[in-house]
A and B are shown apart, each in its own frame.
Chain A
C-alpha cells in the first residue's frame, strides 16, 4: 500500500464566464474512463468544492483528471450522470471532508449498449456480474472457461484510469447463451453432482480495488 499522496491524483475544473472564473482542484482517489469519456470519478474535498463539482458533472462540463503518474486527460461524465455524496470524518479537523462519486450512465448499466463496464477484472466478479446482468442459467465453476473464451474472442478490454482494474466486456445475451450451448455440447462445462440452488461466492469489495 502506497502513501496517500502517492495513490491520489487530482481533478481540475476550470470554468470561465464573462464575470466569473471558477478554478477548483481536488484530490482524485479513483478514476475510470476511455478516450474523452469518464465513467467513474471519486474525489475528496471541501463542502463548496464538492458542491460545485456535482453541479459541473450534472451540467456535462469537461474537467481534467491527473493520475498519480501525472498523465492528464480532459474528460466528461456524459449526460445525466449519477452522483453520490458522503462525509469523511478526519481527526483534528472541525468539519468533515466530503466524498463525491460520479458515475456515467453506462457505468451503472442504464445505457442500452452491448457492453458491460466493470470495476474489476477479477474472474469470478466478471463472471458473476455477466450472469446477473444478462440473466444466464450458469454456475460459478464455469467462470474460467467462459472468461478464456471471451478473452480469445477479444471481448474483454481494459479501461484507463487508476484505483480499479476496470474492464469493458463487449458481448450480448445471445452470444453468451450460444457459448453455454457450445460448452455443454463439447463437455467443457459440467453440472454439479446434486440438484439444488446455485451458490455464488460472496464478493469482497476491498479485493476489487487495485
Chain B
C-alpha cells in the first residue's frame, strides 16, 4: 500500500547482487530496460553514463461511425535510453513517433 511518504520522498533504488548463473543477453536486456543497470560504462572517449526509463504514451485514434466521432485512447509504455558521454555529448534513444497518429506523451 502506498503512503504519503513514498510520494513526497522519491527514493533512488539501490539494486545490488551477483546472479547465481551467468546472464544471457535477454536477461541483460530486461535488466537494462528496467533501469537496473543504470551506471557508468565504456572506455576512453566512449565513457558514458546510461539511464533507462519507461515513458507512457497515449495513442489517440479518431474514428467516425454513423455520423458520430469516436475518440479512442490507448495507453502503452515504451523505453527510453539517455546517454551522457564524458565529452559532453548527450543522446536520447527512443522510439520514433508515427506520423499517422497524434501522440500525447506523458513522463
Contacts and interface: CB of A to CB of B under 8 A. Distances in A.
Interface of A: 40, 82, 84, 101, 103, 107-109, 112, 119, 125, 128-129, 131-139, 173, 177-178, 180-185, 191-192, 194-200, 202-203, 205, 208
Contact of B4 (A103, A134, A200): A103
Could you tell me the dominant secondary structure of chain B's interface residues?
mixed
Given A136-B51, A185-B88, A197-B39, A103 B82 contact: no
B11 A203 contact: yes
Interface string B9-41: 111101110000000000000000000011111
B49 A198 contact: yes
Contacts of A185: 87-88
B73 interface: no
B9 A191 contact: no
B9 A205 contact: yes
B57 interface: no
A181 B82 CA distance: 12
A82 B85 CA distance: 40
Interface of B: 3-5, 7-12, 14-16, 37-42, 47-51, 53, 80, 82-90, 92, 106-107
A133 B39 contact: no
A87 to B, nearest CB: 13
A41 to B, nearest CB: 11
Contacts of A203: 9, 11
A128 B49 contact: no
Nearest to B92: A177
A84 B4 contact: yes
Nearest to A180: B84
Contacts of B11: 132, 202-203
A112 to B, nearest CB: 7
B12 A200 contact: yes
B82 A184 contact: no
A133 B10 contact: yes
A191 B44 CA distance: 11
A203 B15 CA distance: 16
A123 to B, nearest CB: 15
A108 B50 CA distance: 26
A140 to B, nearest CB: 9
Contacts of B50: 137
B84 A184 contact: yes
Given A82-B7, A108-B7, A198-B40, A135 B51 contact: yes
Contacts of A132: 10-12
Given A131-B12, A191-B47, A192-B40, A137 B84 contact: yes
Given A191-B86, A196-B40, A138 B49 contact: yes
Contacts of A84: 3-4
A108 B3 CA distance: 11
